[in-house]
Homo-oligomer: A and B are copies of this chain.
Amino acid sequence: MIRAKTNEMERESSPEKVEQILQGAMQEFLAHGFAGTSMDRVAAAAGVSKATVYSHFADKEGLFKALIERLARKKFQLIFGSEPLEGEPLEVLRQVGTRALEQMSTDQEHSAFMRVLIGESGRFPELAQICVNSMIKPTLVALKKYLASHPELKIRDPEAMARILLGSLVHFHITQEVLHGENIIPMKGDRIIDTMIDLLEKSVRAS
């Protein structure tokens, strides 16, 4: 019969290969950056030939962009895409902050992603902007809305406050893990969070 010409193993194996390629690309690009990564090593890490890589992605740049866009979505959901915020505001903020810090330091991939994203933001500005749009902006908007929806917190500028909260945590992560400062300027992340909550609490009392 005619259908026999297409056996089970070869019909549309593309989706599978694409996934393999992206996995290999992730390993290599996150470890060595764009310029430091060779397509040979990507192919090897993916377990396919170089020609197969080029049959699914136009060139090195196309593969890189596809990977980063994919990772941007994934990272956002992993860190801030949890359950909706409910409960006593300051306690909620403490929990969210603690979870975010923990998630960032647990996930080794996250530090590597930040390195590549920031490191290549000069040569791939559109890519950086995609990440701003799909990670940073949604986080800031969610935080801002949460702060604004709790007038008892007496926050004049929720948008600016959201930046302060997020910035403090992300910068802490950058100095400690991304830049390997843990042993040079050691500090428990909880102190950042405690101090921020303390500030907010006093701010409520003073208003």
Contact = CB atoms under 8 A, between A and B. Distances in A.
Nearest to A179: B128
25 contacts: A31-B122, A36-B123, A116-B119, A118-B179, A121-B179, A128-B178, A129-B181, A129-B184, A133-B184, A136-B175, A137-B184, A137-B185, A159-B187, A160-B194, A160-B195, A163-B187, A164-B199, A166-B171, A167-B167, A167-B169, A167-B171, A167-B192, A199-B199, A199-B200, A202-B206
**How many copies are assembled?**
2
Contact of A202 (B132, B137, B157, B203): B203
A114 interface: yes
A195 B161 contact: yes
Given A156-B198, A171-B171, A191-B159, A136 B31 contact: no
